Structure 1
Amino acid sequence: MYKAWLLVHPVRFLVALYAFLGILAFMIHFILLSTDRYNWLLDSAAPGAKKKAEIHSPMQPVRTMLG
């Protein structure tokens, strides 16, 4: 295996690999954002979207000495 690293510089290889994976991740996210089903930025784009749930806490807020 060490002979493979003699042919390719490890730092250049890792930089190229990380650049490729970053571009691939952006491409996947932009493809998903272009669809109606998987677009998480627009609320109206979700099919069957209901009213957002409200958070109800059964506990009273804790009072501290500062406030």
Structure 2
Amino acid sequence: MWRIWLIFDPRRTLVAVCTFAFLMVMLNHFIQLSTPRYNSWLNAPVAAKAAQK
């Protein structure tokens, strides 16, 4: 395992992994917010009017 760190710089690798993970998390959140089930808070006035009827 230690030979891998001779090839890859640990700081660059950690930054790359964290950046990739952050981008995947943000992509996942935006995909979920684009679905009708999870974006109800964005359409709250419309949902509130529908609930009053």
More helix by proportion, 1 or 2? Answer: 2
Residues 30-49 of structure 1, C-alpha deviation per residue, up to 9 Å, x if partnerless? 000000012253232xxxxx
Unmatched runs of 5 consecutive residues or more in structure 1:
45-49, 52-67
Superposition TM-score, scaled by structure 1 size? 0.61
Regions of 4+ moved over 6 Å: none
Per-residue CA deviation, residues 2-27 of structure 1 (Å, 9 max, x unaligned), is 00100100000000000000000100
Alignment RMSD = 1.8
**TM-score for both structures, normalised by structure 2:** 0.75
Q: Structure 2: which 5+ runs fail to align?
A: none
Identity %: 41
